[in-house]
Amino acid sequence: MSIAGKPFMTPEKMDRHAEILSNRVRTRFRHLSRRFRKQDIECFRLYDWDIPEVRAVVDWYAGHVVMAEYERTQTSKAWLPKMAKALVATLDIPLENIHLKRRHTGEEGVARYSKMTSKAIRLKVKERDLKLWVNVSDFLDTGLFSDHRNTRVIIGKLAKDTEFLNLYGYTGAFSCVAALAGAKKVVTVDRSETYLKWAQDNFKLNGIPVKGHEFVRSDVQKYLLKTAKLKKKFTLAFVDPPSFFQDRSTKVSFDINRDHPTLLREVFKVMAPNALVFFSTNHQRFEPVFKDLPVKDLKELTPKTIPEDYRNQNIHSCWQMRTL
């Protein structure tokens, strides 16, 4: 339905959506909060676009909620605030603890780096033994991708005595896991100074000395070329590139479907023989091209790495590769 050609959603439809969302979130919170409390997990997904007509995700962050709407032409500006009021009643939390965001198609590469506000609502949260800072207000993403909490467990079990490389390291959650597990050295590479500082804050929050580890601000491909020339080798790596990136000032671009084979070959040049590389992407239409890569024991781990609260969407794909 529309008025004068403009998108319009009726109050009745919004009421119906609020009821659907409220009922689903209430059921999921009752189920998940008990289970995750026992594991000391304070961040999890309550609503994962479970019902097609209610196009949103709802994430719990230790008493705060981040709700992101996937906007469409029919969306009313009143829709998201209406859903927020429903969550206030459902979860018995104050309205100021609900943080609303809007996602649009075609925004790959924007989420990690574009600042939306300067409210700086920063929280300390726990994921089992891991402590992390999250910012629930200022960016589209919060600094923690909970869909990889199972992957972090896997990395933690393998990291002892390794030289660990975290490419596209974001706020350093995987770097903290590796350091806590006893990695000899952890190198975190990201092009954002903001997120590298955030990663160092996460190290300090976990009582990990920053000294002895590296936080490198660089384009990943430039870093790999430089490191290969220095003959430096790692024994464990996590590689989670953006789906798409373009820097007009430097004319550097990256497309996951086009460029992942080249990226992986460059990664393998800095890995020791028999090293493990974990490669992940959240691109919904990713087409892997792993033929002729210099690896053995190639395994897809996706079913093991996606937690139960993210089962409704193809939130990411993940593979384990061992170098020759």
What local confidence, expressed as pLDDT, does residue 108 receive?
46
Quote the CA–CA distance of 132 and 28 in Å, as a whole number. 24
User: Structural domains in the chain?
Assistant: 2-105 (3.30.750.80), 144-323 (3.40.50.150)
What local confidence, expressed as pLDDT, does residue 252 receive?
82
Percent helix, percent strand, percent coil in the chain, to nearest 5:
35, 30, 35
What local confidence, expressed as pLDDT, does residue 312 receive?
79
Q: HSE on the CB side for 20, CA within 13 Å?
A: 16
Closest CA to 145 of 98, 112, 180: 112
Closest CA to 61 of 101, 23, 21: 101
Strand order of the sheet with strand 317-323?
Answer: 214-217, 185-190, 163-167, 234-239, 271-281, 317-323, 295-300
What local confidence, expressed as pLDDT, does residue 116 receive?
60
Q: What percent of the chain stands above pLDDT 70?
A: 92
What local confidence, expressed as pLDDT, does residue 81 receive?
96
pTM: 0.93
Residue whose pair of structure tokens reads 């590298």 in the numeric block: 196
Strand ranges (E), 28-158: 43-48, 56-61, 64-70, 98-103, 122-127, 130-135
Residues of the chain with pLDDT under 50: 1-5, 106-112
pLDDT digits (tens, 9 = 90+) for 271-295: 999 999 999 999 999 999 999 999 9
What local confidence, expressed as pLDDT, does residue 109 receive?
44
Rounded (10°) CA dihedral 155, 156, 161, 165: 40
DSSP 84-102: HHHHHHHHT--GGGEEEEE
Quote the CA–CA distance of 25 and 47 in Å, as a whole number. 6
Q: How far is CA 125 from the centre of its chain?
A: 15
What local confidence, expressed as pLDDT, does residue 119 receive?
74
What local confidence, expressed as pLDDT, does residue 75 receive?
72
Tokens representing 141 are 């993403």
164 forms beta bridges with: 186, 236
Closest CA to 90 of 33, 133, 149: 33
